[in-house]
Every structure is written in C-alpha cells, then in structure tokens.
Amino acid sequence: MPDVSFEVSLGSAGTATVALTRSRRAKRMILRVLPGAKIVVVVPENARGNVESKAKAFVEENALWLKRNLEKIRKQPPQSRRTLFEFLKENPSLSAYGKHYSLEFGSASVKPFYVFRESSPVSVFCLRAGNETGDAEALLRQLAAKVLPEHARNLAQRVGIGIGKISVRAQRSRWGSCTAFGDLSLNWRLVLLPPELQEHVILHELAHRVHMDHSGEFWDLLNAWDPKTGTHDRVLSKIWSPLIFSVSDAEENGC
C-alpha cells in the first residue's frame, strides 16, 4: 500500500492532516510530530486489515498527546531558514574516515569541484557565484558517496559484522537504515556531523545486522561498541531538526 494521508479531528483545535507510512522495522504503530508540525503515523509493514482505519483510530486515541505537542511547536519562536551554503560558512568543517577536516571555499567558473586529500587537514570546495547552495550540496553528496561507504566497511570489519551493498541517499527522517539482507543506506548529511557522531550512526545500523529491533540486546551491543551511546543519541536528537530541515533549499527533491 502506498503512503497516504488522512484528516483527524482534534476537537476545539480543529483538524490535522496525518501522513501514514509503513516501516519494515516498526513493531507497533508510532505517532510522531516532526518539525514544521508535520504529523506522521508509522505502521508495521506487515500490518493487515484496514490499516488506514486502524491508524486513524490510533491517532484519535492519542489526540490529547498530539494537541499538546503541536501546541509546543506553535509556541516556539520561528527559526530563520538557512541555506546550506550559509550553514557551511558558519560551520566550515567536514568528517570523513573518522577524522575532522576544515572546509575552505574557492571560486569555480565552469562547474563546481572539490579538493579532498585524506592526508590534508583542509578540504576546499570551489563554487560558482550565485549558485553556492546548489553547488555545495552537489559536492557534499559526491564526497559522501566516496567516503561514507568505505568508512562503514572499515567499521564493519572492526566489529566483525558482514554487510551487503551501501547506498548514500537524502533521507528526510533518519540518519541511516539497514535491511534484513545487510544493505545499508546512509544519509549524505553524515559528513556534516562530528566524527564521533557519524561513527555512532554507522555503528547503530551495523548493530541491526545482529538485532533488527531496538531490544535490550541491541542497545547492549551498541553500548559495547560505543560506550557513549546515550550521550550521542541525545545530541543527535537535538541537532536533527535544524540540520535536516533548515540547511537546504532543495529538501523536496529527495534522492
């Protein structure tokens, strides 16, 4: 069943549009309020029967929780939307192969290009005037496609986990994912994270090669690989919203 949307009543708060999406990893229905007051109900992929009707009933049962969280978002002061280039100018750094690299900018006349050497502490992005954000995203995706799969394979070898294919994409709701067949999908924005957070995300997905859920055994394994898992998870939760939803003008394009 393709993803659908439906309307629910929130009483005196009016109505709300809820997007329904299926997830292979979800074990139960989950209700989420994303930045921008977008409401999503996640349903296990193997759910049967009238899924839309069940999801709508689930959302209505949690209407009070939903209204409270929507109200919190509405009370938050509006954030100015930064372009990716503005974000990079304020945060001129990248992560690759577990190391930090400073980022400098140059000019390009024909097409954008980057200079990245693992042995150098500085990377250079050459962008065309007037198209800095588009060029920066294109170069970041190219760099991510180069460095993230190799780093993931190195980490997998380090912890003794076999993996399949690795893709680098532009997910809007997660840093990465792992299939039951061992294929990894990593968000290109991982190169914008500090090395320790980038590594934590990859290890998180590798742990799903052993436990495809978020059971106690899963967290025990991840903590064994990354003793600062709790701290890293809390930091990631705080920076997800501004990093994913605010830095790029081309978020709707996907991948």
pLDDT digits (tens, 9 = 90+) for 135-181: 999 999 999 999 999 999 999 999 999 999 999 998 876 888 898 88
Rounded to whole angstroms, what are the CA distances from 251 to 17, 70, 189, 218, 242? 20, 22, 12, 31, 12
* Strands in 35-178 per DSSP E: 38-44, 93-96, 99-107, 113-115, 122-127, 166-169, 176-178
- Whether the pLDDT of residue 1 is over 90: the answer is no
- Whether the pLDDT of residue 32 is over 80: the answer is yes
- Whether the pLDDT of residue 255 is over 50: the answer is no
What is the structure's pLDDT at 247? 58
Could you give the 3-state DSSP secondary structure of residue 127? strand
Report d(CA 221, CA 227) in Å as an integer.
10
- Closest by CA to 152, choosing from 235, 87, 209, is 209
What is the structure's pLDDT at 233? 86
User: What domains lie within the chain, and their CATH numbers?
Assistant: 4-75 (no CATH), 84-253 (3.30.2010.10)
What is the structure's pLDDT at 99? 95
> Mean pLDDT in the chain?
85
What is the structure's pLDDT at 36? 67
- Whether the pLDDT of residue 33 is over 90: the answer is no
- Closest by CA to 94, choosing from 116, 71, 111, 62, is 116
197: number of CA atoms within 13 Å, CB side? 21
- Closest by CA to 166, choosing from 179, 174, 255, 99, is 179
Q: Which residues pair with 33 in a beta bridge?
A: 39
- Span 86-105, mean pLDDT? 94
pLDDT digits (tens, 9 = 90+) for 231-245: 998 888 777 655 665
What is the structure's pLDDT at 251? 32
